[in-house]
């Protein structure tokens, strides 16, 4: 087992970002960018360890407004995905890294795309997991204003039904919070593998101990909503790109991943037997995809 080391990074704008790294600082770097409202812990530790054991420096971190990173007063200091991409660049600079392989999941993939578009010299290779060039079908569906006006698919009806039902239930105890959060993750699960209830329960309980302000993560939705789509700009990406996407993704259906692969020069799509959740039980399989791609 690889013992991770924590490091707080202060960005040029004064935002403090909690980071943690696995492996030797002199090894080729991988930066893991997590999705909306979730802490860096949801990059499973076995996945990080597998990459570190393969000879990489692996960095995971809490996006602003999650975990141990800075909580932002969004009304006073609104931000967009571009600002979150700048946070990620600040992490690379704090680690004295001129280049890294960047892996972004879901909203983290939006951020990773912007890193590759706006700061191409920093991105050695790009992996987009369960992501999209256009968040609008999801965001409009969540707001009840989706009318089929965008080229990519909206979330599944089952997923949206779960969110509607969950909105009527406010958990009051820590046990209810765990149960509610577990239910949300279960609604994002898909494919033939069983839902990893035990592993996700452990992760959820650990994440709860690190929450400073449970409402702060809602700022991610505002940041995404105030950012433009990337349907055209992803065509500017020059980094070698691999798209990994769950064939049964109920949040960002498979055509979102297909669009990325079709519109980033030289990109390849690998369809995975999963939904939108990255199950910790798939850590080695996911690490193998990453390692094979980087070592091409």
Q: Which residues contact 76 (CB under 8 A, 6 or more apart)?
A: none
User: Following DSSP, what letter does each residue of 59-88 receive, concatenated?
Assistant: EEEPPTTSTTSPP--TTTS---HHHHHHHH
Res. 1 pLDDT band, cuts 50 70 90: low
Model confidence pLDDT, tens digit, residues 68-103: 999 999 999 999 999 999 999 999 999 999 999 999
Please say if the pLDDT value at position 2 is more than 80: no
Query: Which band of pLDDT confidence, cut at 50, 70 and 90, is reported for residue 172?
Result: confident
- CA 258 to CA 238: how far, in whole Å? 17
Spatial separation of the C-alpha atoms in residues 243 and 133, rounded to whole Å? 12
Determine what percent of the chain is predicted with pLDDT higher than 90.
Answer: 94
CB atoms closer than 10 angstroms to residue 165: 11
Above 70 in pLDDT, residue 271?
yes
Q: Which overall architecture, per CATH, does domain 5-294 show?
A: 3-Layer(aba) Sandwich (3.40)
Q: Taking the CB of residue 23, how many other CB atoms lie within 10 A of it?
A: 23
The mean per-residue pLDDT over the stretch 199-204 comes to 96
Q: Is the pTM of this model over 0.85?
A: yes
What pLDDT score was predicted for residue 170? 84
Is 286 in contact with 278 (CB distance < 8 Å)? yes
How confident is the model over 132-158, as a mean pLDDT?
Answer: 96
Q: What is the pLDDT of residue 3?
A: 84
What are 174-198's pLDDT values in tens digits? Answer: 899 999 999 999 999 999 999 999 9
- Measured between its terminal Cα atoms, the distance across the chain in Å is 26
DSSP 29: E
């Amino acid at each position: 087992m690889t013992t991770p080391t924590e490091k707080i990074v202060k960005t040029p704008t004064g935002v403090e970002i909690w980071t943690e790294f696995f492996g030797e600082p002199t090894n080729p770097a991988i930066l893991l960018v997590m999705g909306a409202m979730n802490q860096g812990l949801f990059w499973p530790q076995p996945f990080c360890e597998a990459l570190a054991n393969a000879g990489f420096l692996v960095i995971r971190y809490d996006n602003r407004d999650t975990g141990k990173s800075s909580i932002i007063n969004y009304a006073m200091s609104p931000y967009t995905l571009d600002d979150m991409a700048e946070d990620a660049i600040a992490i690379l600079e704090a680690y004295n890294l001129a280049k890294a392989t960047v892996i972004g999941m879901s909203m983290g993939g939006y951020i990773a795309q912007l890193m590759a578009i706006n700061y191409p010299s920093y991105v050695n290779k790009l992996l987009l997991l369960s992501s999209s060039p256009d968040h609008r079908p999801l965001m409009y569906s969540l707001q009840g204003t989706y009318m089929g006006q965008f080229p990519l698919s909206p979330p599944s009806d089952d997923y949206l039904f779960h969110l509607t039902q969950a909105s009527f239930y406010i958990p009051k105890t820590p046990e209810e919070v765990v149960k509610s959060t577990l239910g949300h993750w279960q609604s994002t699960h898909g494919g033939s593998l069983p839902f990893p209830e035990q592993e996700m329960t452990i992760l959820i309980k650990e994440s709860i101990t690190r929450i400073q302000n449970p409402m702060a993560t809602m700022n991610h939705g505002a940041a995404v909503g105030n950012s433009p789509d990337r349907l055209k700009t992803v065509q500017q990406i020059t980094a070698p790109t691999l798209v990994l996407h769950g064939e049964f993704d109920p949040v960002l259906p498979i055509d979102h991943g297909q669009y990325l692969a079709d519109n980033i020069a030289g990109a390849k799509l690998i369809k995975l037997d999963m939904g939108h959740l990255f199950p910790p039980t798939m850590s080695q399989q996911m690490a193998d995809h990453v390692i094979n791609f980087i070592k091409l």
